[in-house]
Amino acid sequence: MTIRPPTPRRPTDAELAILRILWERGPSTVRQVLAGLNEDRTTGYTTALKLLQIMTDKRLVERDDGVRPQVYRPRLPREQTERQLVRDLLDRAFAGSARRLVLHALAEKKVSPKERAEIDKVLARLEKEGQ
């Protein structure tokens, strides 16, 4: 019997904000994360530290204890986390219907020509693969 490590739990909105900073800037200290958070709204140092500690416990980030100050990095790549969030949303809100999810997403926000071209490429690839 193979025991797999537990998968990371779904991040909250505040945790996603930190993950975005780490994905964009790379491994960062608490102060560097705090600087990124404070670009949008004022956040305290202890709040950022506590969130990173919780995220470490939830296996959303990894902490390098071998350096001072400690450095945090996302445990999973952005794309993998986004796929997990989409799967969760698809199951919870749309009863597994990808069609309904996509229709709602496209109706909710105007799509730029560049985004439209990317969507068309994905649809063409999926059609070619027979999906």
Instruction: Give Cα 20 to chain centroid, integer Å.
Output: 7
Does position 15 have pLDDT exceeding 70, yes or no? yes
pLDDT reported for residue 29: 97
- pLDDT, one tens digit per residue, over 60-99 is 999 999 999 999 999 999 999 999 999 999 999 999 998 8
pLDDT reported for residue 7: 60
CATH assignment of 13-74, among 1.10.10.10, 2.40.30.170, 2.40.40.20, 3.40.50.2300: 1.10.10.10
- pLDDT, one tens digit per residue, over 25-41 is 999 999 999 999 999 89
pLDDT reported for residue 1: 60
pLDDT reported for residue 4: 58
Does position 5 have pLDDT exceeding 60, yes or no? no
Query: Burial letters for 22-35: b for 16+ Cβ neighbours within 10 Å, e otherwise?
Result: beeeeebbbebbbe
